[in-house]
Structures are given as C-alpha cells and as structure tokens.
A and B are shown apart, each in its own frame.
Chain A
Amino acid sequence: MEILVCARRVPDTSENEIELNRARNDIERDELVYSINEADNYAVEEALQIVARVGGNVTVVTVGGEDDEEILRREMAMGANHGVLIVDEAFAGSDGRGIATILKAFVQKHTYDLILTGVQAEDGAAQVGGMLAALLDYPYASLVNSIAVLEDRKLKISREIEGGNKEMNEIDLPCVLSIQTGINEPRYVGMRGIRAVASLPIPAFSASELGIDPGAVGQAAAKVKRVDYFVPVMGKGAEMLRGSREENVEKVLELVAAKGGLK
C-alpha cells in the first residue's frame, strides 16, 4: 500500500513557554523549539505499522520552508521511505484551503492508496484533511483511532465518538483519514536514527513544478484571516482549592462526581 502522510512542523508545546509578541498578532517565535505536530507523528507510526503488515511505502510530505526538513528527517528516521518538501514563496500565508490545494496538486502527480493527516495541528484548525479529501473527491473519515486493512481495497476503521464511544466504519480506498493521537505508541527516534538519514536526499517541489496557480494559494487567496491572538483571561467559575490535601481530594471527587465524571 502506498501511503502519504501530510505532516506539519509546529512549536513544541511541551518545550516552549508560549508568549504573545509585542504586536499581539502572533506568538513570540524567537527561541522556540519546533517539532513534528504530535498527531502527525501518530499518523506516520500508523502508516509504518500498516506497511509492516501489508507491504508498501510511506511518504511524508510537508508544505513549508527549508527548516521543515528537520521533521521530514525525523520521520524518515522512524522508517518512512521518502520525505517530500513542498516549498514556494507563493505559499506564504495560505489558509487551510490553500494548503489543501497545494497538497491536492502533489497527490495528483502521484498514486497513493491512503492519505493520512494528524487530527489537527497544534496551532491549526483541523481542516486540511477534510478539504483535501473534498478537493480530491476522496472519502474521508476523521478522528480515526484504529485501522485494519480489508480485502477489495477497503479499510475497517474505528472513530472516536464524544463520550468515549467508538464507531466502526468501512471505507473505500483511496481515502483520506485524520488520525487521532493514542491510535498507537509511536516509536522513539534517537540521535542515531536521525544521523543515519542525515544525508538522504529530500526532493523539493515548487508551485510551478506541481502546476499550482500562485493566485489560488498564499496570503492573497486566503479567505480566513487571523485578526487577533490573545491569551484568555481566567474567567469566573475557576476555583482554587486551598484546604489540606485530604480536604482537597474530597472536594475534587465531589466536584468531578457532580459534573458526571464519576459513575
């Protein structure tokens, strides 16, 4: 099975203290540490596990700049066969649909049976997967937390439903799935793995190479625009427990039970 995983490099929320910049339109990006978006990492692991079962190749693609090669290498160290960088100045400021348009152009130049994305980017809006499926006219399932390959180019997938329930679906290939974290336990990538793939080539494609109309993507074409960015102030309803440990534990249990969290 030929699998494409769409990945994205994001500021690592566990290794950064996210602060707003002075202009208050973005976060302060100096000294940030970036890594692959966590859900995308799960998607790559899932792709690798599927390929280990049924054979095939895993390609990881990202739309970004040269810095983003770092995450492609990390996923290649995990075992992905190819990494592909799609880079063009025309892409800057693309909204979700813009990114989906770029990816669609790449997918149409190749043959993939299955396209995976993370359920959402940590700084994103969980929209690219669905839009990409629609643009490709592929079936789409979101919040997928297990995948089994069936005969006749079908998959059996389960989806997470609010309240902890699961729903089983059959879906035809080719399709797009957005992968929920926790679907697997991603393998560890150490320094050694990354060094081993350090010199492998990573092909880069530009807008013209993929036949993308620069006018259809980028800032100018974006119809969703960020107008503000702020840290919400702590609202009412937040309660600080200031008793002894025993009292606090009792109070927490009481509160959780009152909200239906304990059965």
Chain B
Amino acid sequence: MVGGYSPAQVTDWLMPGKNLFLTIHVLGVACFAYIVARRLMPLLRAERDPRFDRPLARLGKVCQFWVGQWKHPRYKTAGTLHILIFTGFILLATRAFTVLIVGISENFVMPGLSGEAGHIYNVITDYAATVVFLCMAVAVIRRMLFRPARYEVPARFGKGHKADAIFLLALIAILMVADSLFAAAKSAGQSQQGQPLESLAVLSLPWLLQVALASASLPTLGNLYFGAYLLHEVTFYFLLCYRPFGIQFHVETSLFNIYFAKLDHGTLKPVKWGVSDEHLDQVKSFGVKTFENFTWKHILDFYSCADCGRCSDNCPADTVGRPLSPRFITIKARDYAYRHYPMFGGVANGKPLIGDIYSEDEIWSCTTCGACEEECPLLVEYIDKIVDLRRGLVDDGKVPQSLQKPLKALESRGNPYGKMEKKRSDWVNAKEFQQVCCVKTVGKSDVAEMLYFVDSITSYDARMQSIARATAKILDHSGENFGILGAAEKDSGHEARRFGEELLFTALRDRNVEAIKASGVKRIVTADPHAFNALKHDYKDMPPVEHISQFIAREVKAGTIKFNPLENGKDVYTYHDPCYLGRHNQVYDDPRDVLDAIPGLKRVEMTRSRDRSFCCGGGGLMLFYEPKEEQRMSVKRVQMAVDAGANVIVTACPFCMTNMEDAIKVAGLEGKMTAIDLTELVDQQIAREAQKAA
C-alpha cells in the first residue's frame, strides 16, 4: 500500500496510517488505563497507610533515590547499566511522546524543541537511544552468559524469570531500533529528495542505519519509515501494557514507590495506622493474615520490585540457608496479587497467606537486620511486613515452642530468662567491681542526672555483665552522675515488638516509661543497641538517649577520656557494626573514632562493613529461636573477620558478643580470634592515672 504511494514530501509518508495510528493510540491508552485500574483494586481494599505528609522530605527522597539513582552504584555493573538506561529513558521520554503524536499530526514539534534546541535534543536522544540499545545487548548477554547468581530462582520458589527478563529487554531493544530506523529512513529520504536535512548524531544507531539506507529507493524508505513507525507504536503500547504483568512494572511505579517510601529509620509501623495504643483492644485482628491486611504502600512495594535480587544477595538469613529470601517475600506476594486480582472477572481474597505462599519458618527466620532495605534501589520495605506477618501469627497463637517460654517470662518476670526481678542488678555486687565503682539505683532515695539503661541480657547474662560493669566504670571515670533502675527496669521490649507481640511490648514499655519518668533523669545512655533503638524510636517522650559509643566518642574528643597505648602491638582489630546501631541508627563513625583513638591499635575493615554489615544472627528473642539453617550467621561473620586479616572482633552489642563468642568456638578459632565489646576495650585501655595527674 505504502510502496505504491509516493508523496511529494517525506513528511507525508505517515498520512495513510493516520487512522490506524489513532486507533492504536486509543486502544493502547485504554488498555493501559484498564490494567492500572485493575492493579489498583487491591490497593483500595488494603489497610490505610498515611504517606501524604512531609512532601519536601519525600521530594528529597525522589531526588536522591529516583533521579539520583543513589543505591545503584552499590552494584557496579548492574548499577552502571541501570543508570545509563534510566537516564536514556528520561531523555527519550519527550522524543517518544513526540513520535506518538507525529502519527496523527505529522508536522508536530514539541513546544520548545523547534530550531536549534530541537537539534541539540535530537543529537542527545540519538545517542541516548544508542546507549539504551547497547545496554539492552549487554544486559541480555549478562543474563544469558554470565548469569549473576542473584538472578537465579531456587527451585522451591518456582520457575526462573530469565525468559521474561530477556523478553522485556528485547522489547526495549526493538523500541530503540524502531525509533532509530524511523529517524534514519526520514533522514535518508530527505537527503535523497534534497530537502533540508535533519542531520543525525555521528556514529549513533540512527546515523548507522541512515548510512546503511543511503542508496535505498524512496518507496523502500517510505515503507521502512511507515513500518518503523508502526513497529514503534505497537511495541510502545505492548510494553506499556505488558509491564504491569512482570518485573518491569517499576518503570511506572518507582516514582510513586520512592515518593511514598518510609521516612523514619529504625521505627516500626503501628499495628493499625490511626489506632492509638489505648484503643488497640478494639482491633479485631492483628497483623497481616490475608493479602488485604497489607497496607496499600506495601502492595505498591510488591508491584515495584524489579526482581534484581540485591535484597536476598545481602540477606544473612538467605545466605546461611534459612527458608527466607526477602526477594521472594515480594515476588510471591506479587504473584498472589496477580492470581487473585486477575484482569477479568471477580477478585478472590480473604484466604490466609501463611500456609499458602509463606511458611511460618520463613517469617520467623528474619533477624530484622535491615540489610535488604538498605540495599533496595526502590526502597521496598521488608521489616514492617515481616513484623506485621508475625503479629498475625502471634494473634493466631502460632508461635514456635522455643519462643513461648521467653515470651511468657517477659510477661511475668520482665526478662526473657525468667530470672527474678531482684537479681537484675546483681552485676553491681561483684567484689572487685564494687571496690572501684559504686552504682546507685535511682528512684528510691537516690537521684541521678543520667540513667544507664542496662536491659535484660547485660543484666542477667554472666558474660555480658562485664559490659555493664565496663560501661559503669566509663561513666564513672567521665564524672557522670548516673544510676540504674535496678529491679524497676524491665526488658526494653524491642524484640518482643519485632517478634509481633505488640501488647507485651506496650506493657513492658509502659512500666519502663513510668520508672524512667519517676526517676527524674535528664539523659539516658545504654550499651545495648536494641535498647537504644527501642528507647529512641519505640518509646515516646523520653529524655535524650545515647549509645555508649556516642558518649565515649564525645568524651574522647573532649579529652575527658584518654587511652594507654595497647601493650600488644601484634593484634589486628576489626569493628563489627551491630545492625541496630549501624543500619537502623547510622552510628558508624563513633565506635571507629574511639578505636582509632587508642594508641597502637591496628584496625582493618571487613569487606562487609558499615551499612553492608552482616548480621551476627540476631538478638533478643532470636537467641531462643531454633532456625532451620545450614550454617550460623555468626560463623560466617567470624570467617569474614579472618578474611580481613583481623584477630580481634570489636563489637558494641551484647547480642553480637554472644553470637561472636559462640561462633569462635564453633568455628574452632579459639586462641586465634577473640571478641571484645567496645566498652570492655575502652575500660581496659582508659588512662586513669594520667587523667588524675592532669
């Protein structure tokens, strides 16, 4: 048809297809609108989630994580590819819209892009299309030949996603070729007809195609022009309507997912947004039991996942072979949504997720370390979902036997070990310690300026009591007027909350808040990052809270704390970032600054450090849980320290310490590796005499 048609002007070549193109436009947009409307259905039935506040902070996130692609360089190859593709897409967006309109109105020029500006834009987008095309080629080769391990789908999670990924990459490649061919045929035709020429960017894909088409006949060029347009049009709308069925839906959703992302680190979502603690009793069902119990944002997360596998690649639970892989928490939920909210017909819902797409072990396997969230380029949230699923399990009484005793003990004794309340402050009575440091219990007759919140493990565990004594001695040395709550202190409830026992947490919190307020202290310090996080984020209206590493770093800077040089110059130290100090509270530098202030201390970094720190295995109730795993996380972590060339692991958390010391034994590294808490090391190296002399 077009072959026989020879218009006087190249710009008339699309004329015969005008109605066809218009039809495709209308159909394409209508289809996409319908698909999006269906995809929105579960969001409308989901739980509420107030994410419309603080627009400036949200725009900041968009600038950093969407426009700025902040997380991408963490994976160099994939990250670079993605940044190039993303930039290409952003640049090409206007060109793509122009092309779509050209089918109906052939002489259309996007306002602002006529003349020189238009020429510059065309040159840029010629190259952009070329770069995107090349990136697709590289991405396909990576998927087919290099096959990064994190893209593989373990058999228990179903079929691989490679075919779909390659298909989508191919579609984009076709789109780029069609776009380039369209420009090349037009330019070649103009050149043959001696019309003013839209010159193409040298060595770009359109340019290469134009060179190849230089001697083609005008009718052939006309056909190619028309055909390329049709191909572009069909591919564009096919992609648009196909993406909401697979891993590329993030092209549409990512902007929203990042705008509505969680703003507050270290916090947990309440059981139900808009329901205060006092009214929790009236909530009929706790947590996520069915798909619709997720909040709309959490469902948007499911849609937005790009299946890049970075979360699971960094997940300690997945690494040691626990039945949890964060990537599949999302993928399975997305598949569930697509199955139960199909494009046509009624929607099915209301069935429990546990036993269907998730298993109990899977949900209990998470240490809430936050490595997955730290890595996700799209800011998909995991901890809130895991905790919500646990709240659902707790509500249904489905709690592993190994956790029931410690939970019950928390309820009756205020600590997970079931130890007597009056023994909570037994650690202060150690003879040698009492001779050098006297710790008062605030609340009765004694008052203090600062509260040292000890928490359960440091209070009761014979080994960890050493951390309590070291902390007290450091505070004492710094001249702090501090005290402890003694028997009035209850477990912070941090883990109870993260294990889904919200009401147990609120009961513990309320008793602590009451005791802390009654004590009249002005500041709180703790050596337990979990207690630190609880006091800082889970409790309200508390005096300022610090972790002891922050306190020490400040005192070192102020000169109040000075160190004796290390006697043994042979040891090599490495610092292990506790999850709730590092990732959840961004305290990375203070502990390192303290270590570096100790004369003669050699320190190396493990490959996985700071925000990529590898969880020790989890604290609090996780110590009681008996996971199904091939290896202990802590053994893996200790091996990382060995690989870094260290023989002393310094940490700043009693749970990390417990796990590290166990791992050193399990790995048979006794005598070759030791673990020490930052407070213990500081207490050991503090220059007491020099201080007094000064």
Cβ of B106 < 8 Å from any Cβ of A?
no
- Known A192-B503, A195-B281; contact A14-B397, beta-carbon cutoff 8 A: no
**In the complex, are the beta carbons of B404 and A188 less than 8 A apart?**
yes
Residues of A within 8 A of B419 (CB): 15, 17
**In the complex, are the beta carbons of A33 and B418 less than 8 A apart?**
yes
Instruction: Give the B interface residue count (CB, 8 A).
Output: 31
| Min C-beta distance of A19 to chain B, whole Å | 11
B 635-653 to A, binary, CB cutoff 8 A, 1 in contact else 0:
0000000000000000000
Q: Contacting B394 at CB < 8 Å: which of A15, A35, A186, A190?
A: A190
- Known A15-B409, A195-B503, A245-B665; contact A187-B418, beta-carbon cutoff 8 A: no
Q: How far is the CA of A204 from the CA of B286 in the complex (A)?
A: 33
Mark out the residues of chain A between 35 and 86 whose CB falls within 8 Å of any chain B CB in the assembled complex.
35, 78
Give the secondary structure class of B's interface: helix
Q: How far is the CA of A211 from the CA of B407 in the complex (A)?
A: 41
| Min C-beta distance of A158 to chain B, whole Å | 20
**In the complex, are the beta carbons of A190 and B420 less than 8 A apart?**
no
**In the complex, are the beta carbons of B397 and A78 less than 8 A apart?**
yes
Residues of B within 8 A of A14 (CB): 405, 409, 418
Q: Please give me the residue from chain B that is nearest to A245 by CB atom.
A: B665
Q: Please give me the residue from chain A that is nearest to B280 by CB atom.
A: A192
Q: How far is the CA of A193 from the CA of B391 in the complex (A)?
A: 13
Cβ of B411 < 8 Å from any Cβ of A?
yes
- Known A33-B412, A33-B413; contact A188-B397, beta-carbon cutoff 8 A: yes
**In the complex, are the beta carbons of A191 and B507 less than 8 A apart?**
yes
Q: Please give me the residue from chain A that is nearest to B502 by CB atom.
A: A192
B 398-415 to A, binary, CB cutoff 8 A, 1 in contact else 0:
110101110111011100
Interface residues on A, range: 20 to 34
Cβ of A160 < 8 Å from any Cβ of B?
no
Cβ of B96 < 8 Å from any Cβ of A?
no
Cβ of A16 < 8 Å from any Cβ of B?
yes
| Min C-beta distance of A31 to chain B, whole Å | 6
Q: How far is the CA of A186 from the CA of B397 in the complex (A)?
A: 8
The CB with the most chain B CB atoms within 10 A, among A17, A189, A190, A195, is that of A190
| Min C-beta distance of A252 to chain B, whole Å | 16
| Min C-beta distance of A71 to chain B, whole Å | 12
Give the secondary structure class of A's interface: loop
| Min C-beta distance of B507 to chain A, whole Å | 6
Q: How far is the CA of A165 from the CA of B488 in the complex (A)?
A: 49
- Known A17-B420, A31-B422, A245-B665; contact A191-B503, beta-carbon cutoff 8 A: yes
Cβ of A162 < 8 Å from any Cβ of B?
no
**In the complex, are the beta carbons of A185 and B395 less than 8 A apart?**
no
- Known A187-B398, A192-B395; contact A35-B503, beta-carbon cutoff 8 A: no
Cβ of B166 < 8 Å from any Cβ of A?
no
Residues of A within 8 A of B403 (CB): 188
Q: How far is the CA of A78 from the CA of B420 in the complex (A)?
A: 27
Q: How far is the CA of A189 from the CA of B670 in the complex (A)?
A: 41
**In the complex, are the beta carbons of A35 and B408 less than 8 A apart?**
yes
Residues of A within 8 A of B418 (CB): 12, 14-16, 33
Residues of B within 8 A of A193 (CB): 397
Cβ of B354 < 8 Å from any Cβ of A?
no
Mark out the residues of chain B between 497 and 535 whose CB falls within 8 Å of any chain A CB in the assembled complex.
501-504, 507
| Min C-beta distance of B282 to chain A, whole Å | 11
Binding site for A on B (CB under 8 A): 280-281, 286, 394-399, 401, 403-405, 407-409, 411-413, 418-422, 501-504, 507, 665, 670
In order of increasing CB-CB distance, the 8 nearest A-B pairs are A187-B397, A15-B418, A188-B399, A191-B503, A33-B412, A188-B397, A192-B503, A191-B504
27 interchain pairs, CB-CB under 8 A = A14-B418, A15-B409, A15-B412, A15-B413, A15-B419, A31-B420, A33-B413, A35-B408, A35-B412, A186-B404, A187-B397, A188-B394, A188-B397, A190-B397, A190-B399, A190-B407, A190-B501, A190-B504, A191-B501, A191-B504, A191-B507, A192-B281, A192-B395, A192-B503, A193-B397, A195-B503, A245-B670
